[in-house]
């Protein structure tokens, strides 16, 4: 059996119509693609639709993908766009949920019940504050902190300059700080 194909080779093959190569790319990136779409839509169903549709569009558009550029942000930009469209067109407003405290750190010593409640309240408030941010700032926060993308990747996914990412993050964080004082 040969070595696993490098991403650039898979992309090159997919550009020439090799469906199997594209399927491999789907497999490599479906996890972060689905997480991206879910964090934007808040709905598993919408996220699945967005990712499927995004992959289809990416396959069709892969001829326009610029060689030498990183593939992941290009793909996530398409998925992100699909997810945003679904969020806008959906009548539902789903809210992200948090895991129970005991699920989050199975290996750690359990915090006292009071501390766990306070921690959960703080996290819930933080998540709600992110949800209330204007879309541009919210998506920048999602990319940088929830998807752990680098600044350059975030810029590619959002289709803006790195400086724009910085300013959106800065304004977003400032807004959250105002809403949530340290002792909140």
Partner 1 sequence: MRDLERELRELSSAIMVPPTPDLAGAAHIRLGATRPAASWPRRPVVLALVVAIVLVAGLAVSPARTAILRFFGIGAVQIEFVDRLPAVEPSVPLALGNKIDPSKAPFPILRSDLLGDPDAVYARGEVVTLLYGSPDRLRLLVTEIGHSVLAPELAKKIVAATTNTRFVDIPGSTGPGIWIEGAPHIVVLADAPPRLVGNTLLWVQEGRTLRIEGAAELDDALRIAKSMR
Residues that bind partner 1 (CB under 8 A): 1-2, 13, 16-20, 22-24, 26-27, 30-31, 34-35, 38-39, 44-45, 47-49, 51-53, 55-57, 59-61, 63, 96-99, 104, 122-123, 126-127, 130, 141, 145-148, 173, 176-177, 182
CA–CA gap between residue 75 and residue 73 (Å, rounded): 5
Do residues 50 and 39 lie in contact, with contact meaning Cβ atoms separated by under 8 Å? Answer: no
Q: What is the DSSP letter of 2?
A: P
SS3 147: coil
Supply the minimum distance, in Å, between the C-beta of residue 72 and partner 1: 15
Supply the minimum distance, in Å, between the C-beta of residue 89 and partner 1: 10
For partner 1, the closer of residues 56 and 152 by Cβ is 56
For partner 1, the closer of residues 59 and 160 by Cβ is 59
Picking from 160, 127, 122, 125, the residue whose alpha carbon sits closest to that of residue 142 is: 127
The length of the chain, given as a count of residues:
184
For partner 1, the closer of residues 34 and 74 by Cβ is 34
């Amino acid at each position: 059996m040969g070595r696993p194909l490098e991403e650039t080779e898979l992309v090159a093959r997919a550009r020439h119509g090799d469906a199997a190569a594209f399927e491999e790319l789907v497999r490599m990136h479906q996890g972060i693609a689905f997480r991206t779409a879910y964090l934007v839509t808040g709905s598993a169903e919408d996220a699945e639709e967005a990712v499927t549709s995004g992959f289809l569009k990416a396959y069709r558009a892969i001829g326009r993908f610029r060689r030498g550029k990183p593939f992941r942000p290009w793909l996530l930009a398409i998925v992100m766009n699909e997810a945003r469209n679904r969020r806008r067109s959906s009548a539902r407003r789903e809210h992200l949920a948090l895991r129970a405290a005991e699920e989050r750190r199975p290996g750690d010593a359990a915090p006292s019940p009071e501390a766990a409640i306070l921690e959960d309240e703080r996290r819930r408030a933080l998540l709600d504050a992110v949800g209330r941010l204007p879309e541009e700032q919210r998506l920048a926060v999602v990319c940088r902190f929830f998807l752990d993308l680098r600044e350059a990747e975030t810029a590619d996914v959002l289709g803006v300059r790195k400086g724009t990412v910085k300013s959106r993050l800065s304004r977003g964080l400032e807004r959250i700080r105002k809403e949530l004082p340290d002792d909140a």
